[in-house]
Amino acid sequence: MDELEFRRRLLADPQDNDPELSAAKLSSPANQKLASELDNLDALIDQALRVDVPDDLVDKVLFKQSSHVIREKRKPKFHLAIAASIAFVFGVMLGQFNWQAFPISPIQQNLGQIALQHYYDEGPFALQANEGASIQQVNAKLSPLGKSFSGSLPGTVSYLNHCSFDNKHAVHMVLKAENGQDFTVFVVPQQTPNMEKYTDGNMEAISLPVNSSSVIVVGKEGADILPLAEQLKRHLNQKA
């Protein structure tokens, strides 16, 4: 089960006990975190909906039906109280969440910032993989984006998967260069106007526009990221 399918199924039903989904929850720290947050949200919503019915509710309803007295102050309607409780729970929870499935608007973040956030969320799991994916497997993952790489890639693909990047379907891979350095690469269906560069003092991300998409490379600050990004850009083509 790839990451996109896992997130879709978990958001649809956080209590789904399917063995495949349960195994995916334990496959990475990011998946465990998302599953835990959804369980907590489910519990809060359930608690908000458990509103006790007053013991004298029947008497009050009967009295209201038979009475012609207009009361100056009316109590809030029962269903409005429930709606207000649910709205309050959602407001509190949404203010605390920081999911990859709900990223910050690109107006506030450029692609490099989003790439670094994605790198830190799933970097440890992806960097430990050793898949040795072929160029054919890479192009199969790129097929839904209408893209493909020609020739050979500048390194060994140790990790390859689909991912949700800025709430869009993208491809996430890790390239191990000939010098032994690891570079995280994203191909996303969102074009940056020009080359963008972002660093947090530890890791650095460079994004280059390629037709209607972008290639983003993340590596250690000071590493030769730009030459690798430019080489990937040259070999990324529109699928025929």
Listed residue (82, 76, 112, 106) closest to 196, CA to CA: 112
Domain ranges of the chain: 3-96, 111-238
CA 127, CA 124: separation in Å to the nearest integer?
A: 5
| Structural tokens at position 33 | 């975190």
Condensed to tens digits (0 to 9), the pLDDT of residues 183-238 reads 999 999 988 888 999 999 999 999 999 988 999 999 999 899 999 999 999 999 87
- Measured from the Cβ of residue 82, the count of other Cβ atoms closer than 10 Å reads 13
Condensed to tens digits (0 to 9), the pLDDT of residues 130-170 reads 888 999 999 999 998 899 998 888 889 999 999 888 888 89
Length of the chain in terms of residues written? 240
CA 117 to chain centre: 10
Q: Are 118 and 172 in contact (CB under 8 A)?
A: yes
| Structural tokens at position 15 | 């209590």
Across the chain, mean pLDDT equals: 78
pLDDT at position 204: 95
pTM of structure: 0.55
Secondary structure (H, E, C), 179-229: CCCEEEEEEECCCCCCCEEEECCCEEEEEEEECCEEEEEEEECCCCHHHHH
Better pLDDT: 211 or 30: 211
CA 51, CA 84: separation in Å to the nearest integer?
A: 12
| Structural tokens at position 5 | 């399918």
Architecture of domain 111-238: 3-Layer(aba) Sandwich (3.40)
Q: Specify the amino acid at residue 5.
A: E
Beta bridge partners of 173: 160, 185
